[in-house]
Amino acid sequence: MVTPFSGSQKAAPLLQVDGVTLAFGGVKALTGVGFDVQAGSITAVIGPNGAGKTSLFNTISGFYRPSEGTIRFKGQDITRIPAPQRARMGLGRSFQNIALFRGMTVLDNIKLGRHAHLKTNVLDALFYLGRARREEAQLRRDIEERIIDFLEIDHIRHASVAALPYGLQKRVEMARALAMQPEILMLDEPVAGMNREETEDMARFILDVRSEWGVTVLMVEHDMGMVMDLSDHVVVLNFGQVIAQGTPAVVQSDPEVNRAYLGSGDVGDLRRRLHASARVGQMQGAE
Rounded to two decimals, the pTM is: 0.80
Kindly report the number of other CB atoms within 10 A of residue 30's CB atom. Answer: 27
Q: What pLDDT, on the 0 to 100 scale, is given for residue 94?
A: 85
Contact partners, residue 37, CB within 8 Å, separation at least 6: 13, 14, 15, 16, 43, 184, 216, 218, 233
Residue 267 resides in a domain: no
Residue 272 resides in a domain: no
Q: Are residues 73 and 136 in the same domain?
A: no
CATH classification at residue 188: 3.40.50.300
Name the percent of the chain in helix, strand, coil, to the closest 5: 45, 20, 35
**pLDDT tens per residue, range 130-148:** 565 666 666 666 777 788 8
Q: What pLDDT, on the 0 to 100 scale, is given for residue 121?
A: 44
Host domain of residue 42: 1-90+182-253
Q: Are residues 187 and 170 in the same domain?
A: no
Spell out, as residue ranges, where the chain has pLDDT lower than 50: 1-3, 8, 117-128, 265, 267, 270, 274, 284
Q: What pLDDT, on the 0 to 100 scale, is given for residue 124?
A: 46
| Number of domain units in the chain | 2
Residue 202 resides in a domain: yes
Residue 276 resides in a domain: no
**Bridge partners, residue 72, by sequence:** 16, 77
Q: Are residues 169 and 189 in the same domain?
A: no
Rounded CA gap, 218 and 70, in Å?
18
Rounded CA gap, 35 and 245, in Å?
8
What angle do the packed helices 196-213 and 166-179 form, to 10 degrees? Answer: 10
Q: What pLDDT, on the 0 to 100 scale, is given for residue 282?
A: 54
Q: Are residues 12 and 136 in the same domain?
A: no
**pLDDT tens per residue, range 36-50:** 999 999 999 999 888
Q: What pLDDT, on the 0 to 100 scale, is given for residue 127?
A: 41
Q: Are residues 86 and 186 in the same domain?
A: yes
For residue 116, with 0-12 CB atoms within 10 Å meaning exposed, 13-18 middle and 19 or more buried, which class applies?
A: middle
Q: What pLDDT, on the 0 to 100 scale, is given for residue 255?
A: 87
Residue 239 resides in a domain: yes
Residue 226 resides in a domain: yes
Q: What pLDDT, on the 0 to 100 scale, is given for residue 283?
A: 53
Q: Are residues 86 and 202 in the same domain?
A: yes
